[in-house]
Structure 1
Amino acid sequence: MLQAKSKTGKITTLVSLSKDEIRKARRGEFVCPVCNEPVLVKAGERTVAHFAHRSKLECASNDHGEGPYHEQGKLLLYNWLKQQGIDVELEKYLPEIKQRPDLFVTIKSRKVAIEYQCARVPIEIINRRNTGYMEAGITPIWILGAKHFHRLRQHHFKVDPFTLSFMHRFSADFPLTFYFFCPQTFQFIIIQHVHLISARLALGLFRFISLKDMTFSNMFFQQELHDKWLFELWKKEKMAFRLRQNNRLHGSELAWFNWLYEKGTHKEKLPSIVHLPVRGQHLMKTTLGNWQSRLCLDLLDPLPIGASFTLERSHRILRYQPRQHFSLDRGMDNPIYEYLILLKKLQVIDQIDSHLFKKIKEIHFHKNIESSLSEDARLMNQLIHCSTIV
């Protein structure tokens, strides 16, 4: 922690002191402002001056394994907000919820808790903290340390269950967004319009902004996404989906391949309407190809032309992730509905009302990989064409 209380109750912030003052502070007695237990002064040439508990205690001020990188970033973010004239408090303790955000911002009647997260902690802790903030009417914003940002290509980056739990959406029309900050390069990385390709891979629109050019309001700027851009990128994802070698299958993917075998088909022969992008994919328990193929083979393919089906029937076939796994997502995505709307654009089904659909075209299975790749490209071009029609 960057702050502690003296015997007289005065709050001391070590990083604001000179080296001589820090040396004097080492001889003083300080306590944690949250639990009132004794703390030690920690300072060195390569360490941001801070306080630490004398013993490991369960305290809201514990940083769960955070280190100098975190302390440096937190201090930079604090000064960055302060320089903009924003009412910000460092490590403010909130007794009503027994939590202490890294930064606490007040803008008129709006209260925001900003957490700078560098260490990996159980997702349950993140969700529990978010629940506490939200129940107190506080908006949580989590900025990840840039060490968690792993870019693979121009628009592709690695994800995992931990990083996905920090995906923000402040309202239904706000894009899925990640925030990263590097205290060594003084740079923000903001990723918006996140679409999951697999459990470990996603694509999105990246913005790299230096600390000196970044403002707090920039965090809420929405980059515009054109469907044409997404579908153009997805042409390559469709090809990768067909050609990817699956040598080490396990869990749900192994079960899916076995299920395809029992159905008398294989991934290469699946209809081209399988493995299409949907914004709410993070809410599904299985991959795009897995659940979309089940919807096609178990629901759509057996239906005769002209037969209708409900959205609820589609839901019964598939499985969702519990929404509380994504406590920062305030949207109302329905990935199954999103997929059905894509099928409507492709004139495979028609929509009768908000919950009722009708099959208007047969589901076509491929006989070989050449046919699959050719039809995949044609279908994606059809979606690109649809997206350019105003």
Structure 2
Amino acid sequence: MLVAQTEEGLISLAQRFSLEQLKLWKKEKQFYCPSCQSPVQLKVGTKKIPHFAHLKKTCVAQHEGETDYHLDGKRKLFHWFSSHLEVELESYLPDIMQRPDLLVDTPSQKYAIEFQCASLSSSVLTKRSIHYEKGNYMPLWIMGAKRMKRLSTYMYQLSFQEWQFLTLSDYTPTLLYFSPSTNQLLKLEHLIPFSSQICYAQLVVLSPHEHTFHNLFSTHTQPQFFSSWIKKKKAWRTHYILYPNQKLQPFLHALYENNIPPSHIPAEAGMPLPSLYMVETSATIWQTWLLLDLMQQKQVGDLVTEKELCRLWLYRIHQRHIVFRSLPMAPVVVEQPLFEYIEVLCRLGMLTYITSGVYKIRRPYTIPKQTSDAFLEDGQMMKKWLNQAKEVT
């Protein structure tokens, strides 16, 4: 804690005090938690940031222990945002029994900000977020930048914990991180996962000298990472089967029944879509499932309806062959990835739009004859899709 109650009023350690002044206060003053009114101790030393600590862990608003990293982070975020907005540090909200790290008041919205460094279960995250919303505060979760694992310019490895904090900013999937050491806020946007953990995204770096709180919600042009995506798909074709797991057995069995080697999956599978963040299952896998199911029930020249495609889609979800992410902070529309993929198949010439909710199958999916053909066809499919998308826009 950085804020405590005294007989004279509140003391905030977000302000700079000399070590001598703090030691004198420690001898002369009694400090109390503003939330539960229990006595707290002023911790003063040379190694850790000065802070207040409960003598016993009985406070209803106390969620977890605080590290120097966390204390330093919320102090710097407080100074940054309070330079141009009304901000409260560790303000207790008795109606919902929550004490966010920061309360930020803007003309259009009030925000409850949590600088989350410790692990947090999905249930706790959901519960606390709902409480904030009931109090008319928009919850905003910012992770410690130590969590971020960058693999290349646009590629990141995201844990299950990180995915939980995903929000939509101007309809764009976004994750926020803060680095106390550099005093920079790191924003990952336009997240498009290749698999359950590997994700492509645009990194935007915000600093207090150049940006304000409102820059957290502005979005930038999506980067062109598709050549890197194709390379990743190439690696998937050649190496993924070397590390099979039990969850993949139904998928591998389906490929075997269709006489398709895992390295020769359809070139139309594994296409990046805006809503892929909703789905934990790799796009390469779930899109292959849909193609296999479609051509088992239909032939070239047949009509297929959105309702029929939805039934195939929901069946695979029911069988747990397609798994959605748990995203407490972002809405998940189950049919959205399917509808986006139908549009891709139309642009690739496999389907043709006939009328509302009805399509015609123009050709089968593409199975490469050999692995070298697969790499070439992946690139051709991506190029065709991008060119079609440019013509539409």
TM-score calculated relative to the size of structure 1: 0.91
Q: Please list, as runs of the form range in 1=range in 2, the aligned pairs for 1:205-216 lying within 5 A after superposition.
A: 205-216=202-213
Paired with 2:373 and 2:324, the residues of 1 have a C-alpha distance of 38
Structural RMSD (CA):
2.2
> Is 1:272 equivalent to 2:267 in the alignment?
yes
Percent of aligned positions that are identical: 28
Q: Please list, as runs of the form range in 1=range in 2, the aligned pairs for 1:252-271 lying within 5 A after superposition.
A: 252-271=247-266
1:105 Cα deviation from its structure 2 partner: 1.0
Q: Please list, as runs of the form range in 1=range in 2, the aligned pairs for 1:18-33 lying within 5 A after superposition.
A: 18-27=18-27, 28-33=29-34
Aligned-partner residue type, residue 51 of structure 1: F
Give the aligned partner of residue 219 of structure 2: 222
> Is 1:175 equivalent to 2:172 in the alignment?
yes
1:331 Cα deviation from its structure 2 partner: 7.0
Paired with 2:242 and 2:378, the residues of 1 have a C-alpha distance of 23
Distance 1:46 1:267, change over 3 A: same
Per-residue displacement from partner, 1:80-108 (whole Å, max 9, x unpaired)?
A: 11112x01100111122111111001112
Structure 1 residue matching 2:202: 3-state secondary structure: strand
Give the aligned partner of residue 204 of structure 1: 201
Give the aligned partner of residue 66 of structure 1: 66
Paired with 2:198 and 2:133, the residues of 1 have a C-alpha distance of 29
1:378 Cα deviation from its structure 2 partner: 1.4
Distance 1:111 1:321, change over 3 A: farther
CA contact (8 A) 2:35 2:59 kept: no
Paired with 1:205 and 1:314, the residues of 2 have a C-alpha distance of 33
Give the aligned partner of residue 140 of structure 1: 139
Paired with 1:35 and 1:102, the residues of 2 have a C-alpha distance of 16
Aligned-partner residue type, residue 206 of structure 2: I
Give the aligned partner of residue 152 of structure 2: 153
Distance 1:230 1:318, change over 3 A: farther
Give the aligned partner of residue 35 of structure 2: 34
Structure 2 residue matching 1:326: 3-state secondary structure: coil
Paired with 1:109 and 1:381, the residues of 2 have a C-alpha distance of 42
CA contact (8 A) 1:231 1:384 kept: no
Structure 2 residue matching 1:176: 3-state secondary structure: strand
Which 4+ runs in 1 deviate beyond 4 A?
320-323, 330-333
Per-residue displacement from partner, 1:206-235 (whole Å, max 9, x unpaired)?
A: 122333222111111110226xx2433322
> Is 1:368 equivalent to 2:361 in the alignment?
no
Distance 1:48 1:286, change over 3 A: same
Distance 1:218 1:332, change over 3 A: farther
1:344 Cα deviation from its structure 2 partner: 1.1
Distance 1:195 1:109, change over 3 A: closer
1:109 Cα deviation from its structure 2 partner: 4.8
Paired with 2:203 and 2:167, the residues of 1 have a C-alpha distance of 15
Correspondent of 2:349 among 344, 347, 350: 347
CA contact (8 A) 1:15 1:50 kept: no
Give the aligned partner of residue 386 of structure 2: 384
Give the aligned partner of residue 309 of structure 1: 305
1:354 Cα deviation from its structure 2 partner: 5.3
Aligned-partner residue type, residue 89 of structure 2: L
CA contact (8 A) 2:267 2:365 kept: no
1:387 Cα deviation from its structure 2 partner: 3.1
Structure 2 residue matching 1:253: 3-state secondary structure: helix
> Is 1:114 equivalent to 2:110 in the alignment?
no
Paired with 2:207 and 2:360, the residues of 1 have a C-alpha distance of 51
Instruction: List gaps (5 residues or longer) in structure 1.
Output: none
Structure 2 residue matching 1:350: 3-state secondary structure: strand
CA contact (8 A) 1:4 1:11 kept: yes
Structure with larger RCO (C-alpha < 8 A, sep 6+): 1
> Is 1:78 equivalent to 2:82 in the alignment?
no
CA contact (8 A) 1:231 1:383 kept: no
Structure 1 residue matching 2:62: 3-state secondary structure: coil
Distance 1:209 1:111, change over 3 A: closer
Distance 1:252 1:111, change over 3 A: same
Paired with 1:123 and 1:150, the residues of 2 have a C-alpha distance of 21
Aligned-partner residue type, residue 376 of structure 2: S
1:321 Cα deviation from its structure 2 partner: 5.2
Distance 1:74 1:289, change over 3 A: same
CA contact (8 A) 2:23 2:44 kept: no
Distance 1:258 1:41, change over 3 A: farther
Paired with 1:290 and 1:176, the residues of 2 have a C-alpha distance of 22
Paired with 2:57 and 2:35, the residues of 1 have a C-alpha distance of 14
* Number of residues of Structure 1 aligned to a counterpart in Structure 2: 382
CA contact (8 A) 1:301 1:363 kept: no
Distance 1:38 1:382, change over 3 A: same
TM-score calculated relative to the size of structure 2: 0.90
Aligned-partner residue type, residue 56 of structure 2: S
CA contact (8 A) 2:173 2:277 kept: no
Paired with 1:331 and 1:220, the residues of 2 have a C-alpha distance of 20
Distance 1:286 1:331, change over 3 A: closer
Give the aligned partner of residue 129 of structure 1: 128
Instruction: List gaps (5 residues or longer) in structure 2.
Output: none
